Each structure stands twice: as structure tokens, then as C-alpha cells.
A and B are shown apart, each in its own frame.
Chain A
Amino acid sequence: MRALPGLRGLRGLRGPPPALRLPLLLLCLLASERRSWADGNTTASPLTSLPIPEVMMTKYSNLSLKSQNISLTASPLTSLPIPEVMMTKYSNLSLKSQNISLTASPLTSLPIPEVMMTKYSNLFLESHNISLTEHSSVPVEKNITLERPSAIELTCQFTTSGDVNSINVTWKKGDEQLKNYHVNATGGILYTQYKFPIINSEQLGSYSCFFEEEKERRGTFNFGVPEVQGKNKPLITYVGDSVVLVCKCQHCAPLNWTWYSGNRSVQVPLDVHMNDKYVINGTNANETRLKIMQLSEDDKGSYWCHAMFQLGESQESVELVVISYLVPLKPFLGIVVEVILLVAIILFCEMHTQKKKMHTDDGKEFEQVEQLKSDDSNGIENNAPRHRKNEAMSQ
């Protein structure tokens, strides 16, 4: 407000008498007010007919803009593939245009634009199919492991002898209904296809195609991160020894491996900087080895290895049991005692039988010696006649 000369003038003078001061003040204020009205006015009025630039549109998103040039009537948005860009900015607006008209009908037969897929064209494409027949009463399941964000194409085919067009096809993720699927019938086989990208862990889960939901004709695709293998049985180690714990992933390459100790609910990360206690290395990307040295009784328990993927993580545990050297020593000493006993018994028996044999042998040898003596004498006797004969002959 501009300074009011009237009031300054009033202050300069020794002033009017106090009874007149208040009404004079009020008069001056009224005058100044009238003067400002006459200068100009910049306050906003309701904007229903003014051309408002886009910048302002983003600020006042609850307004409706009518323009004669472009009119785009959108029917209920549940089946239109509206480009995401527009959706994020003008989520409450309705835009009417006369020049371009794009009427959208329920999208059960419209080809899904490639716009969505081209955005994610740097992804890997994974296709999976399930075949069902009208006789299959058991739901068919397929487990698929995904490591990295992929563009998924799921196809279900249904063979029937009846009328293919009468079958109601639905897709669900868990319990949630899905749209944007494509149905096609050729011959007696009904094909349905659902394409979507998986880029984060919330999009993993079970996707099912239903052919007549009441009759339980269902094919399910279960998406999950690859599983890691640890060891089912506990690892036995000794106090003062070292041990190597291995976690492997069959056909996958995780981004990162981390080790924790504790139980499933409470996990404590290992202090990898203690180089004389823990050493982590892995020869390939699909396995990790944790070497624990100078084991003690406190090191026993479960160790968890976590494999980090772009779409989530999976974990597995390895159990460690630490025992002292005395544990296997007992059976060993038992066997040694048994061996010593048996050897002693056998050698004692052998000595015993040998002594017996020697006693009987002495008796037998005496007999043998007697026999030999008699044999010798027989020999001499035999020789003697010969000599005598010769003598007789020579004589």
C-alpha cells in the first residue's frame, strides 16, 4: 500500500484534538481503498472458457477442458490399451476430439499392439505352452524358473470335439482376473495367448488359463526364482579343523552370493573381514564356497547362503556340527583291543597245540628211530647174502 500522505500530514501537525482523530483515520482509509480499486484487478475468475496452456493443465488436473479441435472419446478404460504416458499425467481427464476418432470395443478380438512389447525389446523372450483336452480333469502345472526380467508369452491350447466358440476362456494371476489375452480357434483346437513382461519380483507367481472355469480345466504356469542347493545332511567337522561349505545353483548365474549364520527367522551376516576365520570364494558364478577355519564348538549351527537375482533371491541352509577327536577314537580303540585279544588267543592256541604235538612227536620219533634201526639192519642183511653170493661166485 502506498504511503498515505494524509496520515503523515496529520502526524506532522500538532494534531487535531483526540476526539476527532478516529473518524479522520477511518475516512483516510476509505479514500485509499477507492484509489486502489481504480488501478486494475489481477484476481482469477472461473476458467471455463479461457484457453489454458498445457503447463497449467498439469497443475490443475481436476479441471475439464473442452476443445473443438481434438476429440478422443474413450469408452470404459478397462479394455483399452492406453499408452502409459498419457495415463500417468491425465488420469482424471476426458479428452474430446472431433478429428481423430478411435472407438474401442471390448478387446477380446483386437490385436494387442506391439507398443508395449517394443518398450521391453531388450528382454529375453520366453514362450511356454500347456495343452489340455476335454478329458483332462486334473489341472496341469508347469514350473518355470526365471533369473532375469523377461518378456513372457504363455499359450494354452484346448482340444475338443464340441463347439469351440461356446467355451469361456479366462486368465488369472492367483485370484486376480487378467485382461489383454488373445483367443483364436482353428479346426477343433482353441488357442489362447497371454503376453506380458516380468520385470520385478511382484510379477512372479502363478498364472492360470481356464477353459470353462466350472469344469476345472486349468493350466497353471508357476514362475519363481531358481533354487539353490545346499546340503541335506549335517556336515561333521572337528575342533581346530577347517571346513568348506558349498552352495550350488544348477543352471543359473546369480548376481551375488551372501552368507549368514543363524536360523531361518533370525539371520546374522558373517564378518567376512576376519580373513583368518572366514574366506569366501567360488570358482564359477553358479557356486559359492565358504571356508571356515579354526573351528570351535561355538561355530556349530546353520549357515545360510543367499543367491541374489534381478527378480528376487533364494536361500538354502547348510548345517555344521563340530565334534572333538575323542568321538571316533572310541570305536577305534575298541577295534584295537579286539584285535589284540584275538591275536593273543590264536597264538596261545597255536603254542598249546604245538606243545601237545611235540610230546606225542617225541614218542613217535622214538618208534621211528627204532624202525630205522631195524630197516638198516635189514639192509645190511640183504647186502650180506649178495656179498656172500659174489664171494661164492668169485670163488
Chain B
Amino acid sequence: MAKGTRVRSTSPPDGGWGWMIVAGCFLVTICTRAVTRCISIFFVEFQTYFTQDYAQTAWIHSIIDCVTMLCAPLGSVVSNHLSCQVGIMLGGLLASTGLILGSFATNLKHLYLTLGVLTGLGFALCYSPAIAMVGKYFSRRKALAYGIAMSGSGIGTFVLAPVVQLLIEQFSWRGALLILGGFVLNLCVCGALMRPITLKEDQTTPERNPISRTQKQDFKRVAPCSTLTKKCVQTCLCCSLQQEYSFLLMSDFVVLAISVLFMAYGCSPLFVYLVPYAVSVGVSHQQAAFLMSILGVIDIVGNITFGWLTDRRCLKNYRYVCYLFAVGLDGLCYLCLPMLQSFPLLVPFSCTFGYFDGAYVTLIPVVTAEIVGTTSLSSALGVVYFLHAVPYLVSPPIAGWLVDTTGSYTAAFLLCGFSMIFSSVLLGFARLVKKRKKTQLRFLAKESDPKLQLWTNGSVAYSVARELDHKDDQCVALTVPGYNPT
């Protein structure tokens, strides 16, 4: 059945306006992630002005990070229902208002509210929709596009840190916050760049074989909200939410979610504890700071090069494997860290860890897109970043407690290493199980349905297998004679 829609649907352009989207996402990453990291430069000023100690001022950074990640699903809901452009522009206005109000603060609590909650909320509204947008515009060069977009956090920190220091020296922290608020207003420009695009797979157009089409139509008929009457509007909102978040029940996504929890738990303490650990084994302060710089720069290199690498034809179908390889290697680096006790040994560690840290950060949206498809990518990314929030909050204090009780960094690093290795092993195991099921079902499906055997070209067998993938749970219920799901 042909649909007479007036909206032009296209395949992902893989270029053209897509590069403007990548530039916009790059700027969004700078304005959100890099600005969050640079807020810590203000802490010394806040400590002197408000006569508080480090712990009180460090809460600001935790609140921004936490609110940005926790409200990430809210960002995807807003951009799905209003529009990506409106969502990001709204986020930019909120974040900028938070920073501007913060420049007039007379109390540290005011800063918690303005800088912490308001700015964090603004960042949350921008971050996941922008990343999802990149995924919609690219398919062949997706990993490279993501690599360039995500490298914004590293490059942004590198460039913004001295600029913020200069602003504080010229205008004191109040003036610097005001100007930073103006800078963050550029998020509205990024929002304007995010032209909406409707992709072919967002609609039920006949492109594949008749079987898949009829099965999809049946599925649609079963969905409760088929007519758009006034009564149904409210129910449509929550059932559209239901549809949007239907991926949450996919077993693949659940496995990804659990592994992301463990991975986020493992990766955050290193940035907090590398410098104290290096100083404790006898490295000088300047050399330890240099280690952090190496980590940051190699992170950027890893972002872009790994993205380009996994776009090559040979690795394109193995992006999932590359992701788990990167996470696993990072875990192994952690396990080796307690044995590295001098500066010449810590430098290669920084390079390796930084490279693969950049690598898996680039691949998170790619792997998520592979699992849920591009329609729900925005919502799925929102959930994935939401799952980053709690481990980011919890992990550094737990590592600190371990360091204090055991007196050395070994226990903390080993725990993080095992957490990351577990995350990658879990994903690998899930993929293996899925592959086994797939080959079994394909074999049995071929045997049971003789009609399909007529259509023995690769594309049909592939499309049938893919249908079975998406309806994993329903597959098991297939009553194929002689088939016992084990």
C-alpha cells in the first residue's frame, strides 16, 4: 500500500547538511561537557569569596553532572514531542540563564540552584537530542561523524580551560560567569542548525517483501491508538510514550543498560584519582598534571581515529565487537595500573587508556543505534546517559573510601577494572547467545516453511532473520514442530 504523504522521506544523506549537523553537535558537546569540566576552575575563587572549604564548592560540579545525566530522558521526550530545534534552543536559554543568574549570587546555596540545577537542566535538554540527530543523518560514516562530534568535549576542555582562567583574571568570577553565560547561548545557534529529517524506516512504506509488511501491519492494528479523535489525544500522549519507550523491553537493550551501568562505574574514578595516585608513587606534581593532559589529548585522537577506523568496510559489521574490545582493554589497563609505579611507566598507560576511552565513547551511540534503530535513538540515548548518572555520582566517593580504609589505591583500581571487564564480557556473552539462537532458528525456519525456500536470494533470508531478531520474544512462541527452545 502506497502512502500519499507530502513529507519527503530520504535515506540518511551521509554528507551535505549532515556535516553542519556534526558541527552543531560538536559545538553542543563543547558547550555542555567542556563547560561542566571548566566550572571546577572557579572553585578556588568561590572558596576564597564565600570562605567555604573544597568539599562544599565541589558539590556544584556534582550537581551539574548529576542533573545533566538524570534529566537526559526529559531532553529526548521534549525534542521528540516539540522538535529537536525547539528542544535544544530551550536548553540553551535555560543553561545561559543559570550561568547569568549565578554571576549575581551572594551565597553558595544560590550557586547550587542556579549553576547546578538550572544550568544542568539546560544541558540535559541539549545533549542527547543533538547526538541522536547525528545518527539520523549518517549511516555509512556514522562512527566518524560521532567521533568528530564527541571530540568536542576533549578539544573544548583543552581550549576553554586557559580562556576561563583568563576571563577570571580580567573580570573576576562574576564577570567570567556572565561571559560564559553568553558563550553557552551559542547552544541556540546549534539548535537552529538541527534541521529535522524524516527517514524511510520511520514510516511503514513497502520496501521489503510482502511477509514483513503484513506482519508489521498486524502489529500496528493491535496498537491501541489508531484514530486521532479529541478523546484519544491524552491517551495518545501516553501511548506514544509507550511506543517511544517500547525498546526498554528489548532484551538486547536491557543487557546494554546493565553493561553501561558497570562501565560508567569503572571509568569515572580514574580522572579523579590519577593525579593523587601518581603523586603518591613519587611522580612530581607537574609530571602528574602532564599525565592528565596526555590523557585528554589522546582521548580526542581516539575519538576521531577510532570512529574513522570502525567505518571501514572491514570493521563496519563488527562495531559491537570493537566497542567491547575497547571497554575490555580499558579494564585491563586498570588492572595493570597498581603495578606501574614510575612516570615512564605511567605515560604509556595514559596513552592507552585515553585512546580506548575516546574509542568507546564514540561507539556508545553507534551501538545503541544498532540495537534500537534510529527512530527511538533519541529516547534510547536519553536512557543510556541517564544510566551514567548514578555510577558517576557514586563511584568516586566509593573509590575514595576504599583508598582511605586500605591505605593504597590498589583495591579501588582493581574494583574499577573488574567492573569494566564484566561490562564487556556481559555484552560479549549476550551477543554469543543471540548468535546461537539466530543460527538455530534460521535453520529450523528454513526447514519448516517450504514457501520461503522459493525465495532463496540472500536479501530475503537476511530480512527474515532480521524480523526474527526484532521479535525475539515472539520468536520463541513460534510453534514450529519439533523445535524446543533451550
**Cβ contacts under 8 Å, A350 to chain B:** 192, 195
The reply to whether the CB of B6 lies closer than 8 angstroms to some CB of chain A is yes
Q: Given known contacts A238-B174, A361-B8, A372-B4, is B189 in contact with A332 (CB within 8 Å)?
A: no
Binary per-residue interface labels of chain A (226-249) against chain B in the complex, 1 for a CB within 8 Å, 0 otherwise: 000000010111100101101000
Q: Once bound together, how far apart are the Cα atoms of A185 and B251, in whole Å?
A: 87
Q: What residues on A are CB-neighbors of B172 within 8 Å?
A: 235-238
**Complex Cα spacing A361 to B170, Å:** 54
A342-B175 contact given A244-B51, A372-B2, CB 8 Å threshold? no
Q: Are A327 and B171 in contact (CB under 8 A)?
A: yes
Q: List residues of chain A with CB within 8 A of the CB of B175.
A: 236, 238, 327-328
- Answer yes or no: B226 CB below 8 A from chain A CBs: no
Please, which residues of chain A bring their CB within 8 A of the CB of B6? 361, 365
Selected from A323, A334, A375, the residue in CB contact (under 8 A) with B2 is A375
Q: Please give me the residue from chain B that is nearest to A364 by CB atom.
A: B8
Which of B127-135, B176-184, B422-430 forms contacts with chain A? Answer: B176-184
Chain B contacts for A4, CB-based, 8 A: none
Per-residue contact bits, chain B 1-31, to A (CB 8 Å; 1 contact, 0 not): 0101010100000000000000000000000
Q: Are B185 and A339 in contact (CB under 8 A)?
A: yes
Q: List 13 A-B contacts (CB under 8 A).
A: A243-B49, A289-B51, A327-B175, A328-B176, A328-B178, A332-B179, A335-B182, A336-B185, A339-B188, A343-B89, A361-B8, A365-B6, A369-B4
Interface size in chain B (residues, C-beta < 8 A): 27
B169 cross-chain contacts in A, Cβ below 8 A: 233, 236
B188/A343 in contact, CB under 8 A: yes
**Which of A237, A243, A246, A332 contacts B181 (CB under 8 A)?**
A332
Report A-chain residues with C-beta under 8 Å of the C-beta of B4. Answer: 368-369, 372
User: 1/0 per residue A348-392: CB within 8 Å of B?
Assistant: 001000000100010001001100100100000000000000000
Residues of A within 8 Å of B188, CB to CB, are 339, 343
| B193 at the A interface (CB under 8 A) | yes
Question: Restricting to B58-115, which residues have a CB under 8 Å from any CB of A?
Answer: 89
Give which listed residue, B2, B178, B183, B189, contacts A346 with CB less than 8 A.
B189
Interface flags for B151-182 (1: CB within 8 Å of A; 0: not) read 00000000000000000011110111011011
Beyond contacts A335-B183, A336-B185: 18 other A-B pairs, Cβ-Cβ < 8 A, are A233-B169, A236-B169, A236-B172, A238-B174, A244-B49, A328-B171, A328-B174, A328-B178, A328-B179, A329-B178, A332-B181, A342-B189, A343-B188, A343-B189, A346-B189, A350-B192, A361-B8, A372-B2
Cβ of A331 and Cβ of B182 under 8 Å apart? yes
Q: Does A347 contact B (CB under 8 A)?
A: yes
Nearest-Cβ distance from residue A172 to partner chain B, whole angstroms: 38
**Which residue of B is nearest A345, CB measured?**
B192
Give the complex CA separation of A342 and B186 in angstroms.
Answer: 9
Report whether B192 and A343 are in contact in the complex, using a CB–CB cutoff of 8 Å. yes
Which chain B positions have C-beta within 8 A of A361?
Answer: 6, 8
Decide yes or no whether B48 CB sits under 8 A from chain A.
yes
Task: Provide the bound-state CA to CA distance between A365 and B8, in Å.
Answer: 10
A365–B6 CA distance with the chains assembled, in angstroms: 8
Top 3 A-B residue pairs of the complex, sorted by shortest distance between their CB atoms: A328-B175, A335-B182, A236-B172
B170 lies within 8 A of A236 (CB)? yes
Contact between chains at B174 and A357 (CB < 8 Å) = no
User: Residues of A with Cβ closer than 8 Å to B?
Assistant: 233, 235-238, 241, 243-244, 246, 289, 323, 327-329, 331-332, 334-336, 339, 342-343, 346-347, 350, 357, 361, 365, 368-369, 372, 375
Q: Which residues of B contact A365 (CB under 8 A)?
A: 6
Cβ contacts under 8 Å, A335 to chain B: 179, 182-183, 185-186
Q: How many A-B residue pairs have CB under 8 A?
A: 68
CA–CA, A336 and B186, complex, Å: 8
CB distance from A142 to the nearest CB of B (A): 23
Q: Is the Cβ of B49 less than 8 Å from the Cβ of A346?
A: no
List the B residue with the shortest CB-CB distance to A360.
B8
Complex contact B192–A357 (CB within 8 A): no
A197 to chain B, nearest CB (A): 39
Q: How far, in angstroms, from A329 to B171 measured CA to CA in the complex?
A: 10
Main secondary structure on B side of the interface with A = helix
What is the distance, in angstroms, from B21's C-beta to the closest C-beta of chain A? 12
Closest to B177 in A: A328
Shortest A358–chain B CB gap in Å is 9
Residue among A237, A238, A350, A361 with max Cβ neighbours from chain B (10 Å): A350
Bound-complex Cα distance A56 to B439 (A): 126
Q: What residues of chain B lie closer than 8 Å to A346, measured between beta carbons?
A: 189, 192-193
Encoded as 1 (CB less than 8 Å from any A CB) or 0, chain B from 248 to 287 comes to 0000000000000000000000000000000000000000
Q: For residue A369, which residues in chain B have a CB less than 8 angstroms away from its CB?
A: 4
Q: Establish whether residues A347 and B179, one from each chain, have CB atoms under 8 Å apart when the complex forms.
A: no
What is the 8 Å Cβ interface bit string for chain B, positions 333-351, against chain A (1 contact, 0 not)? 0000000000000000000
Residues in B24-54 with C-beta less than 8 Å from chain A: 48-49, 51
Evaluate whether A339 and B186 lie within 8 angstroms (CB atoms) in the complex, with A246-B48, A372-B2, A372-B4 already known.
yes
Smallest Cβ distance from B3 to chain A, in angstroms?
Answer: 10
A235 to B174, CA, bound (A): 12
Q: Which residues of A contact B189 (CB under 8 A)?
A: 339, 342-343, 346
- Measured CB to CB, the closest approach of chain B to A160, in angstroms, equals 36
Given A339-B185, A346-B193, A375-B2, does the pair A244, B48 have CB atoms closer than 8 Å? Answer: yes
Q: Which residues of chain B (398-439) have a CB below 8 Å from chain A?
A: none
**Cα distance A368–B171 in the bound complex, in angstroms:** 62
The chain B residue sitting closest to A241, CB to CB, is B174
* Complex Cα gap A327–B195 (Å): 37
Residue of B nearest to A368 (CB): B4
**B193 and A336: CB pair below 8 A?**
no
Q: A residues within 8 A CB of B8?
A: 357, 361
Q: In the docked arrangement, what's the CA distance between A336 and B100, Å?
A: 12
B89 closest partner in A (C-beta): A343
Alpha-carbon distance A334/B4, docked complex (angstroms): 48
Contact A332 B182 (CB under 8 A): yes
Complex Cα gap A10–B293 (Å): 123
- Is the pair B185, A347 in contact by a Cβ cutoff of 8 Å? no
Contact residues in A for B176 (Cβ distance below 8 Å): 328
What residues of chain A lie closer than 8 Å to B174, measured between beta carbons?
Answer: 238, 241, 328
Give Cα A327 to B185, complex, Å. Answer: 19
Q: How far is the CA of A334 from the CA of B6 in the complex (A)?
A: 41
CB contacts (< 8 Å) of A243 on chain B: these are 49
Task: For the complex formed, measure the closest distance between the CB of A345 and the CB atoms of chain B, giving whole angstroms.
Answer: 9
Which residues of B, 166-224, contact A by the 8 Å Cβ criterion?
Answer: 169-172, 174-176, 178-179, 181-183, 185-186, 188-189, 192-193, 195
For the complex, give the distance between the alpha carbons of A375 and B206 in Å.
Answer: 14
CA distance A368 to B178 in the complex (A): 54
Q: Is the CB of A347 within 8 A of B182?
A: no
CB distance from A318 to the nearest CB of B (A): 12
The docked-state distance in angstroms from the alpha carbon of A11 to that of B2 is 168
Residues of A within 8 A of B186 (CB): 335, 339
- Minimal Cβ-Cβ distance residue in A for B48: A244
Most buried by B among A246, A347, A369: A347
Complex alpha-carbon distance, A372 and B3, angstroms: 10
The reply to whether A336 and B182 form a contact with Cβ atoms under 8 Å apart is yes
Shortest distance in angstroms between B271's beta carbon and chain A's nearest beta carbon?
28
- Cβ contacts under 8 Å, A323 to chain B: 171
Chain A residues within 8 Å of B48, by CB:
244, 246
Select from chain B the residue with minimum beta-carbon distance to A341: B189
A329 and B176 CA atoms in complex are apart in Å by 10
| Centre residue among B48, B174, B175 by max chain A CB count within 10 A | B175
Closest to B170 in A: A236
CB distance from B210 to the nearest CB of A (A): 14
